[in-house]
Amino acid sequence: MKKMLLIGGGSALLLLCILFGAFFAGPLLASARGGQTSATASSTPAATNPYCQQYLQDLANRLGVSVSTLQQDKLGAAEDVLARLVKDGKLTQKQADQIKQRLESHKACTGNGHGFWERGVVMQTLKQYLPAAANQVAQGLHMTVDQLKTQLQAGKSLSDIATTQGVSSSQLRTLVTNTIQTTLNKAVGDGNLTQQQATGLMQKLQSHPELLDRLLSKHFGQQ
């Protein structure tokens, strides 16, 4: 049987995100890391995720157990991981209790759990297009890619750089929009993204243009 190894503090948190996000369809570490919990549950019934349901049923069939038994075993394994994280000093007992409480009260396969994985795949796919995007942005800001890299690594945002370069905010918005659209069109044309994925990401980036700053900063090695 394949085993998952627990490595380091950051990896431990990532493991929990994957484990709980995939199986329980929610970013369950958010409350632990921020020290907050939800006081009341939403009155709106959660949508059922058919992909998660199919996964659980298929896995249960392969293991020769019921879905109910599988869910109980998953919860037990998650609690064991939480106990180990507390023992290793990666989480406080209070944080672990908060996560455990949410795990016990959260119904499996509700929400859009597959979104966690899809976002990761999309962002990984876009990495190969960042050099071209950086070049397009640099040209629009009347500078070289190396100059753009230096400015971003110094902690400046695209807005800061645009102001220095005499590029107006409206011109920057147009530049960012065009860069995102060009990048996504290329990814769709190459068969690396579906049109639906590209449309959703375009809407997300247009609503949060600062995400392009983050993508380019990470591309240039700025943490």
Q: What is the pLDDT of residue 134?
A: 92
Average pLDDT, the chain: 75
Q: Calculate helix-pair angle for 9-24, 50-63, nearest 10 degrees.
A: 100
Burial class of residue 222 in the structure, from the number of CB atoms within 10 Å of its CB (0-12 exposed, 13-18 middle, 19+ buried): middle
φ and ψ of 108, to 5 deg: -65, 150
Which of 22-26, 74-78, 136-140, 192-196 is the least confident region? 22-26
Section 92-102 average pLDDT: 84
- Ordered alpha helix ranges (H), 5-66: 9-24, 29-34, 50-63
pLDDT grade, residue 164 (50/70/90)? Answer: very high
Give the end-to-end CA distance of the chain in Å, rounded to a whole number. 37
Q: Secondary structure of the chain: what % helix, strand, coil (to 5)? A: 70, 0, 30
Across 94-120, average pLDDT: 67
Q: Cα separation of 89 and 102, whole Å?
A: 21
Predicted confidence at residue 47, as pLDDT, reads 62
Q: Any idea where the domains of the chain sit in the sequence?
A: 9-34+48-111, 118-219
pLDDT above 60 for 35: no
Q: 67-76, 89-98, 107-116: which range is least confident on average?
A: 107-116
Q: What is the average per-residue pLDDT within 7-36?
A: 41
Higher pLDDT, 179 or 213: 179
Supply the pTM of this predicted model.
Answer: 0.52
